[in-house]
Amino acid sequence: MYAKSPEHYIRAFLLLLKDVQELFDYIEPADANLPCFSYRIHALLMRTCIEVEANCRAILSENRYDKVGWWNMEDYKKIDKSHRLSSYRVRFPLWDGERGDRMPYSSSDSNGKLQWYDAYNKTKHDRLESFGAANFEHLTDAICGLVAVLAAQFHTEDFAIVDHIICDGPTEFEAVVGDYFQVKFPTDWPDADRYDFDWQALMQESDDPFQNFDYGS
C-alpha cells in the first residue's frame, strides 16, 4: 500500500518544504498572492509534481501495477481507490484569506484534469506560452497534493534520522529544536544551584522576579 524506502521520499519532501518556506519569506501565503508567477515558483512546481509522480509510481509498482508504456495521472488517479486521496484536506498553518484549506485531488477542471498538475505539464513542455500557469496557487495546490500522498502512505511518521540512528543509543537523550539533534541534559547540578519555588508567590512579591546571574567582571 505504500512505497518502499519511505525515508527516500520523506527526505526529498523535507528539502522541498524548506525551499517553499523560504519562498514564503518573499511571497506571503495569502489569497491575494495566488496569481503571482515567477521562475522560482516554476522551479518549485516542477520539483513538487515530480515528487508526486515518484510517490504515486512507487505505490503502484509496490502493488504490482504492470501497465506497459508511459504512466500518467490517469494511472496515478487509481491510487484514490486505496488511499482516498480525493478526501484529504490539507491546511496551511499560516494563511491570510479563504484558501488556507485545500483538497488537492478533488479540484478538477471541466475536462477532469487536476488544475495544478495540468499547469505543471503545460509549463514543463511550453514554458514561454504557459509561464503564467506556474503561479503561487498551482504551486501551493501541488504542495498540498504531495503532503496528502505522503500522509496517505505514512500517516504522521517522518522517519526522522533521530528515530533510527540517535535513538538507538542511550534513552536519556532527548530531541531538541528541529528534531534533528538530541541532547542529554546535565544531571550534575550542585545542590546549592537547585531550586524550588512558587511562581505565583514570586509574582506577588515583585514585578520583576527574575534575577541577573553574576558572571563577575
pLDDT tens-digit series, residues 162-208: 554 444 555 566 665 555 556 676 677 678 767 677 767 777 777 77
Summarised one tens digit per residue, pLDDT across range 11-59 is: 999 899 999 999 999 999 999 999 999 999 999 999 999 999 999 999 9
Strands, DSSP E only, in the chain?
Answer: 90-91, 101-102, 174-175, 182-183
Same domain, 90 and 175: no
Specify the number of domains making up the chain: 2
Same domain, 138 and 45: yes
Same domain, 103 and 176: no
What letter would DSSP give residue 180? Answer: S
Looking at the domain assignment, is residue 1 inside a domain? no
Nearest to 105 by CA among 144, 47, 48, 151: 144
Nearest to 94 by CA among 50, 31, 29: 29
Looking at the domain assignment, is residue 215 inside a domain? no
Which 3 state secondary structure label does DSSP give 209? Answer: coil
Same domain, 135 and 200: no
Segments forming the whole domain that contains residue 193: 161-205
Strands 90-91 and 174-175: unpaired
Looking at the domain assignment, is residue 213 inside a domain? no
Same domain, 30 and 45: yes
Same domain, 13 and 91: yes
Same domain, 16 and 67: yes
Nearest to 46 by CA among 153, 124, 141: 124
Read off the pTM. Answer: 0.76
**All cell numbers assigned to 120:** 505543471
Looking at the domain assignment, is residue 212 inside a domain? no
Same domain, 127 and 186: no
